[in-house]
Structure 1
């Protein structure tokens, strides 16, 4: 277990989430063009709140205990954090005594394929590091609590593996990072998107965004491939990666959370002013 790397990943995820939450759709914010960080403070969203539950459960149990994770999601649910309507509905049903095992599978007639499981999972990959079988199993388990559809689970697996690879090989990036992820993601739209990302590594960002998706649909297959493309392309610069997110992503906070969580699992340099601007992590994770 690498608790320190998991915490580093969580901190990075919070910065990426909070930074992204300051921006609207691409082209809507003049600070993106000027590369001027928005004024502090930067509050984080549901991405970080749910990632904190994953980290806390891992620290307390040494693994993903699905019942404990569901309970933590409910206990720390804050409606003002910008939860998606589907997850918000599920958590309220959990709070009312409903079983997550039944509710998550039945949501959206087969389970959600949204990007919510992917946005929160990077610290899990960093926590288990080189134990890839465990990373795969527990990424699936962490997703199933709210995002039971095949592609929603696959998105979580892809992000967790990327963070795991970075935790083990801190400078990993580029084609090697993406090719390390691909064989461990089940065949489907998420995997196809990551395969396409390899061929687009040298393409302009607007081309990659048009081909891979920008998070507009808030779906795993519309979010994870582009996020991993950015992480692979800008693996040596946390700052450059997040400005690329702000430039092209449409679900800016979620793409930012994924990119930053993956990068922070390995070697990274988060600008000190960005860390200071970001809302602190909650005390209950300790």
Structure 2
């Protein structure tokens, strides 16, 4: 692939990630009344807020893409600094507890990312879904080499998510995005590329789950991100993407039916599917309401 083709593929994925992120975030206020929210989602009623803002999912994905555009590969200290600068510019994007602890310290000492990332959560490192939520554009960038996708995804994850589960979540999502960009999205292939982990076990269950299963039921079986762990988030989001590989809008509605950490599950699904489709097929009101993503046209 030429550098221009890589950038274009990664940008398609980023735009879908940001759309899913902003779309999913709109549902949180309605979750106070789960029945109302479910009825709205099942009826496919678009949230009516005039502005849909994206969250830390997109902010961190922008950091990943920035490093790829500047260096053509993940350089971990530079990525740590990019994440920290993005956080410093707007810390109210919905970052999790671990990132509120880690990123301000990386702003001052980005080269200390190995020890600081490992020190989170009592020295276990984060097994959250944050490395997975931001990585789809990387998969689109390196789509012509699945081994390189896995290597680079792991490098991108380790900067903030030192726990093997956090890394496995990133490898799985990046692989799914790469396969999607190639028109070859297949759950068994994602399972094969994912390191041995609870994430891989969840993906194996997802691969056996018929696409005729209602999304709300699938989220009960696979997890919906409510625990903010990679293994509780990635299998359902990847399953939704594989269920609708050529229809970004349908994929995001299905993902929203799962409730839970819906901005993150929708960001993952959106980043995977849009690596193939882009966002031009999404409803125009969605695109008009979504906050612009820096670097676009």
Partner of 2:114: 101
Q: C-alpha distance in 1, partners of 2:220/2:45?
A: 25
The correspondence of residues 87-166 of structure 1 with structure 2, limited to 5 A, is: 87-97=99-109, 99-108=112-121, 109-166=123-180
Counterpart check, 1:4 vs 2:13 = no
Counterpart check, 1:208 vs 2:218 = yes
Partner of 2:189: 180
Shift of 1:267: 2.8
Shift of 1:106: 1.5
Return 5+ residue gaps in structure 1 as ranges.
none
The correspondence of residues 49-60 of structure 1 with structure 2, limited to 5 A, is: 49-60=59-70
Backbone CA RMSD of aligned residues: 1.6
Query: Structure 1 pair 28/94, CA: closer, same or farther in 2 (3 Å)?
Result: farther
Q: C-alpha distance in 1, partners of 2:259/2:235?
A: 12
Aligned mate of 1:232, from 231, 242, 251: 242
Partner of 2:230: 220
Deviations 1:91-112 (A, max 9, x none): 0121243611101012112210
TM-score (norm 2): 0.90
Return 5+ residue gaps in structure 2 as ranges.
none
TM-score (norm 1): 0.93
Q: C-alpha distance in 1, partners of 2:288/2:216?
A: 31
Deviations 1:70-125 (A, max 9, x none): 11111111211000011111001212436111010121122100000000000000
Aligned pairs, how many?
A: 280
SS at match of 1:248: coil
Shift of 1:209: 1.1
The correspondence of residues 71-86 of structure 1 with structure 2, limited to 5 A, is: 71-77=81-87, 78-86=90-98
Shift of 1:234: 1.8
Partner of 2:18: 14
Partner of 1:278: 290
Name whichever of 155-164 and 194-203 sits farther off.
194-203
Query: Structure 1 pair 59/207, CA: closer, same or farther in 2 (3 Å)?
Result: same
Query: Structure 1 pair 58/28, CA: closer, same or farther in 2 (3 Å)?
Result: farther
SS at match of 2:282: coil
Shift of 1:28: 5.1
